[in-house]
Structure 1
Amino acid sequence: MASLHPTVSEYYTDKNVFITGATGFIGKVLLEKLLRSCPNVGNLYLLVRPKKSQDCHQRITEISQSPVFDKVRAENPNFHKKLIPIHGDITEDALGISEENVELLENQVHIVFHSAATIRFDEPLRVAMEMNVLGVRKMIQLCSNFKKLEVFVHVSTAYANCDRPFIEEMVYQPSVEPQKLIDALDWLDDEMLDQITSKLIGDKPNTYTFTKQLAEHLLIKEGANLPLAILRPSIVGASWKEPFPGWIDNFNGPSGLYVAAGKGILRYMNCDAMGVADIIPVDIPVNMMITMAWYTAVYKPSTVPIFHSTSGSVNPFTWGEIENVVMNFWKKVPLDSCFRRPKAPIAKSGFLLDYYIFVSHMIPAYFADLGYCMLGKRPRMVKIYNKLHRAMGTLTFFTTHSWEWTYNNLDMLKSKLSPEDRRLFYFDPRGLHWPTYLEAYCLGAKKYLLNEDLSGLPAAKAHLRNLRNLRYIFNTVVIVALWRVLVARSDIARNLWMFIIGLVTKFVKFFRLTSAVRR
């Protein structure tokens, strides 16, 4: 029976696709994969809002020149002609799309990928609701009129139900009905809303996870007439295999922490060393998006399929193991111009962590800024550390908890694919070798995020040695000073000091004499 169905690539032939969030990390990888592995795909209509001095056409032109498309560019230099920008904004009425473009989409689009959302964990509830919940409602209203629509794929998050330790492939009932909260937004001012936000989100750690759960519920309820499928990825990291191992273009999630640790800025991390780090390479959920759209359109399931794209339950790797791999890599392949030597052991929250952060983060930051001021430069380290601590704070919930997910639909989807499609559109994280992946991740951060060339590696290693020597000198000076000030005032301590110096002197003389005899 499987032979009666088209392959994934065959299904996408001449199919027009509408994508929101195409300028984001997942969106770019999705575009690249569709263009390269489904070369006969039709037009890709991309919802894009103007940014700064660029209009939507200029933004797409800039994106098409990104290194992420190097492979596609080599095979098809004119690939950009399939990228059709649609001027719009997820926060505007009717998505801000012109009547002409609405008509175009209604008559042409077969497949929809909706991944546009705010991913800021500390977003004010009103903004998070506008983008993550009302944005879904506007997409439903728009796509309900698409004459050729075959599938609508919504990108949620594996943490939409993070108040549960065990999460199944189902939409859970939220604590608040989306419509009731939407109605309340009309009369609640920002101050009142901020005061009740913590009560509204309950056991959820932030407005992001809260609104993503509301969005799922609203989608199922109001989009019942659409051919829906929902993807739930966990913490999305650098690519595993495609378009290149370790490709990354943002500092979100673990990427910024890896770089901060490699630069010697991050010295302690608030994690559960034995907790599972549920990171998923970006190419895994992208491949799942493409294949789950194929499955939903071809097999037409009677219920909305929900797919988990997570690693923790099938290929677990702990934060402690990650710390070991990443730190060892940065010592072998250091970043340029490190602030201090890479070292970021894991500590649990509490007084000890606060002490370490104050001693290892803030005191060096203030001394560094004092040095910048004396040199006539602008102080920056305290500001960097404050920003780093805010980022760490938003991640703490996810680095100190672990979850389990079900994978029934992942295994089912895999069984529906041909062997060749399973190879081309891999999405099973069981085969991921974590140490190799994390080393490629760090190397990708060095290359793609920081634009550092490996030709500068000898200089980076020399700088690291200088930092090590400075640390030894500093520690020696501190020990001697403390000894002289606090201890050496007593006769016993002074005699002990002279005894130690005598032993060291005798050892040095013995070593020199032995060396001379051997010669």
Structure 2
Amino acid sequence: ITLKFIIIIIFNFFLFSVLIEKILRTVPEVGKIFLLIKAESEEAASERLKNEVINAELFKCIQQTYGECYHDFMLNKLVPVIGNISESNLGLEGDLATVIANEVDVIINSAASITFHERYDIAIDINTRGPAHIMTFAKKCKKVKVFVHVSTAYVNGKRQGRIMEKPFCMGDTIARELNFSNSKTETKLDVGKEIELAVKSKKALENDEDALKKMKELGLERARKHGWQDTYIFTKAMGEMLIDTMKENIPIVIIRPGIIESTYKEPFPGWIEGNRMLDLIVSYYGKGQLNGFVGDPSGIIDL
């Protein structure tokens, strides 16, 4: 088997701990997995790796396999790297960036601001410009085979019924697609101008005590104008557009998950961490403390 070098850009370890565990358990021959983490220091990044991965219950099958050598195995495979997708070159220092660019085969990005009503400038910076920075870095990677980008099912906005997966092309909007009122007279979505608007608005509101509120309102206004319900999914959709525009010869996989909950079978059934999304409902139902839940019987829940 060809040894692979993977860089995983982390937002939180809940989602990607499962992927890391799967890779290490089924393909232990993997070379290195570089974990790009936004952290204050190398010590902080290493501490997160230790607490959220190496010591996590999720990895107990691997721990049983390697026994006393478990920690050495994990530290040999996993390399925490301080970085930031909001910065050029992903915030990586020169020598380290060169090493990764020369070796990495696969790039997986899960970094995102998932606050629905985030400040427009912050959401743009992470969800839209971030993927563009990663694509720029990917083009420097001599061996890269694929770039996997984790988006969200909700970029489909106000589409209804059976929705076939298709990429967003630059300028696509849900409003024009669904023929919202006045949408035919509106210009196409210009991602560059949206980025410029966010930057200029942030600067104009620097000394405004209501800047936070106004920047959040701006994001919602822009999202709803183009057919998305909130700032999060709007900026994620624009991130997909930039990836599609910039990809050139790099193979791209865009994954659009819905709500992510516990493990089904692997590495063992029922693993879940923290209280997210529907976790509390699942927990209380399992304990017999919740007998029913108000909802539409014909509604579809994507879990």
Match 2:238 to one of 192, 196, 214: 214
Correspondence list, 1:326-475, <5 A:
none
Structure-2 change in CA distance of 1:42 and 1:231 (3 Å): same
Question: Residues 135 and 247 of structure 2 are in contact (CA less than 8 Å); yes or no, is this contact kept in structure 1?
Answer: yes
Q: Is 1:19–1:113's contact at 8 Å kept on the other side of the alignment?
A: yes
**Alpha-carbon separation, structure 2, partners of 1:128 and 1:72:** 37
Matched, 1:177 2:166: no
Contact 1:133 1:215 in 2 (8 A): yes
Query: 1:462-501, aligned counterparts within 5 Å?
Result: none
Task: Please tell me whether Structure 1 or Structure 2 has the larger radius of gyration of its CA atoms.
Answer: 1
What TM-score do you get using the length of structure 1 for normalisation? 0.48
Write out per-residue CA displacement over residues 436-455 of structure 1, whole angstroms, 9 at most, x where no aligned residue.
xxxxxxxxxxxxxxxxxxxx
Matched, 1:197 2:186: no
The C-alpha deviation readout for 1:227-276, integer Å capped at 9, x for no partner, is: 21111111111110112211111322111333466789989856323211
Counterparts in 2 of 1:35 and 1:89: CA distance versus 1, 3 Å = same
Which structure: greater helix fraction? 1
Question: How many Å separate the matches in 1 of 2:12 and 2:217?
Answer: 34
Find the counterpart in structure 2 of residue 167 from structure 1.
163
Q: Which has the higher contact order (CA 8 A, sep 6+)?
A: 2
Tell me the equivalent position of 2:295.
271
Q: What secondary structure, in the 3-state scheme, does the structure 2 residue paired with 1:113 have?
A: strand
Aligned equivalent of 2:146: 151
Question: What is the Cα deviation at residue 180 of structure 1?
Answer: 1.3
Unmatched tracts of structure 1, length 5 or more: 1-9, 280-519
**Hey, what does 1:249 align to over in structure 2?**
273
Query: In the aligned structure 2, how far is the partner of 1:122 from the partner of 1:269?
Result: 26
| 8 Å Cα contact 2:18-2:58 kept in structure 1 | yes
Residue 86 (structure 1) aligned to one of 56, 81, 85:
81
Q: Which position in structure 1 is the counterpart of 2:61? A: 71
Identity of aligned residues (%): 31
CA–CA separation in structure 2 for the residues paired with 1:210 and 1:127: 13
Give aligned pairs, total. Answer: 268
Task: Tell me the distance in 2 between the aligned counterparts of 1:229 and 1:60.
Answer: 26
Deviates more, 1:201-210 or 1:260-269: 260-269
Query: How many angstroms apart in 1 are the aligned matches of 2:58 and 2:236?
Result: 28
Letter in 1 for 2:200: W
- Note if 1:21 corresponds to 2:45: no
CA distance in 2 between partners of 1:255 and 1:214 (Å): 29
Amino acid at match of 2:100: L
Partner of 1:403: none
- Report the Cα distance in structure 2 between the residues aligned to 1:125 and 1:24, rounded to whole angstroms: 25
What is the match of residue 61 of structure 1?
50
Is the Cα–Cα contact under 8 Å of residues 48 and 56 in structure 1 kept in the other structure? Answer: yes
Compared CA separation, residues 122 and 255, structure 1 to 2 (3 A): farther
Distance, in Å, in 2 between the alignment partners of 1:227 and 1:161 is 22
What CA RMSD, in Å, does the superposition of the two structures yield over aligned residues? Answer: 2.5
CA–CA distance in structure 1, aligned partners of residues 42 and 147 of structure 2 = 32
* Contiguous gaps of at least 5 residues in structure 2: 175-188, 203-210
Residue 101 of structure 1 corresponds to 96
Range with bigger deviation, 181-190 or 253-262: 253-262
SS in 1 for 2:81: strand
